[in-house]
Amino acid sequence: MSVWGKVGGAAAGLFVGGPLGAIVGAVAGHFLLDRETDPGVTFTIAVVALAGKMARADGVVTDRDFEVFRKVFSIPDHEVANVKRIFDLARQDIAGFEHYAQQIARLFVGNPAVLEDVLDGLFEIAKSDGVLHPAEAQFLERVAEIFGFAPGEYRRIRASHFAPELTDPYVILGLSYSADEDELKQTYRRLVRENHPDSLMARGVPAEFIKLATDKLAAINNAYDKIRIERGLSP
């Protein structure tokens, strides 16, 4: 079964089959705090829930919000209704997005790589129209802060998604200009390793989300090549 089918089953069971007592925190609280849950489903609901919150960041809620999400992650037609149920619950929930981000941060405490994967998923949605709108930028920066990322780390993550060819390659790799050759190569290899599809799947990122790594890996490779050529280093 695809991760979307598993998510749909969870949605039907949680939000239709049994009373929760309160809708506040239903997605990020009741479900995500179950550590025995399939990690792929947990990761997916984290992205869906925060994507729903980001959709209302500019104060305007439209049906196009979910259509963008559906297109970015290629949700099968027969799974759309159940996935949209979670998206809409998160989007309509009166709780602020910080509530969701804090619960997700606690769930993945000690695993910043997965939290970065969640941010990558949100950036994929934000950049779908080619523009990072001010409200989206504020939302993403705040989520990154709650996840425990320092400002420099956030800039690195953001730079790998938006106009990386125009961005300082040192920002994309999270390096200072004074970094020596060993630090450059070690950082590059670490970033490539962390963003390799096998590494993502080992962290519980479902196969349906592996394409998240494609653009990011390309940005990392291009940034490294720019610095290497500029310094006259061998491949």
Can you give the length of the chain in residues?
235
Q: What single string gives the DSSP state of each residue in 19-61?
A: --S--TTIIIIIITT-TTS-HHHHHHHHHHHHHHHHHTTTS--
Reply yes or no on whether the pLDDT at 61 is more than 90.
no
Q: Measure Cα distances from 45 to 33, 93, 107, 122 in Å.
A: 11, 15, 12, 12
Chain Cα centroid distance, residue 132: 15
Residue 1 in 3-state DSSP? coil
* Mean pLDDT for the stretch of residues 43-66: 79
Rounded to whole angstroms, the Cα distance separating 125 from 68 reads 7
Would the pLDDT of 17 be above 50? no
Q: Note whether 168 and 33 are within 8 A (CB).
A: no
**Which one has a higher pLDDT value, 116 or 21?**
116
User: Could you tell me if 65 and 135 are in contact, meaning their C-beta atoms sit under 8 angstroms apart?
Assistant: no
Q: For 148-174, what is the mean pLDDT?
A: 89
Averaged pLDDT for residues 123-140: 86
Task: Please tell me the total count of domains within the chain.
Answer: 1
Residue range(s) defining the domain that contains residue 164: 3-231
In this predicted structure, the answer to whether residue 13 has a pLDDT above a threshold of 50 is: no
